[in-house]
């Protein structure tokens, strides 16, 4: 199951609602009831309902839910920090410090 990476979330609340919708969709696709997921995740049914409606819940609760649905690796892989953007000065500095050294020319002995 892939999350839609093209959708931008403007506020933290919108992001929480998107996560909640994702969890509910995955649960329903797996034909899992609220009771089954709450038991597998080790969270109360009311916590699961609150999360699916509002995105509300502790980080620990969310991780337990993602793990029980089998999507924890997907969620963690989305947390890769962006690479630092390099300036032109950084690129010049990098290229000048890694210049190849020129090999010596072989001279032929004249006999």
Residue 18, pLDDT > 70, answer yes
What burial letters (b/e) apply to 27-59, b meaning 16+ CB within 10 Å? Answer: beeeebeeeebbeebebeeebbebbbeebebee
Which one has a higher pLDDT value, 15 or 83?
A: 15
Q: What is the CATH number of the domain that holds 58?
A: 1.10.260.40
| Per-residue pLDDT, 1 | 47
Other Cβ atoms closer than 10 A to 21 = 13
Task: Tell me if 69 is assigned to some domain.
Answer: yes
Tally of domains within the chain? 1
What are the φ and ψ backbone dihedral angles of 83, each rounded to 5 degrees? Answer: -70, 150
Q: Which of 58-62, 86-90, 103-107 has the highest mean pLDDT?
A: 58-62
Q: How far apart are CA 39 and CA 43, in angstroms?
A: 7
For 6, half-sphere exposure in the C-beta direction (CA atoms, 13 angstrom radius) is 0
Residue 24, pLDDT > 90, answer yes
Task: Tell me if 23 is assigned to some domain.
Answer: yes
């Amino acid at each position: 199951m892939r999350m839609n990476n093209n959708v931008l979330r403007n506020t933290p609340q919108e992001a929480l609602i998107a996560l909640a919708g994702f969890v509910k969709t995955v649960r329903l696709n797996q034909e899992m009831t609220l009771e089954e997921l709450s038991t597998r995740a080790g969270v109360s049914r009311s916590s699961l309902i609150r999360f699916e409606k509002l995105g509300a819940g502790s980080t620990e609760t969310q991780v337990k839910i993602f793990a029980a649905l089998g999507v924890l690796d997907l969620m963690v892989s989305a947390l890769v920090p962006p690479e630092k953007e390099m300036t032109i000065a950084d690129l010049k500095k990098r290229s000048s410090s890694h210049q190849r050294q020129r090999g010596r020319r072989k001279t032929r002995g004249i006999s």
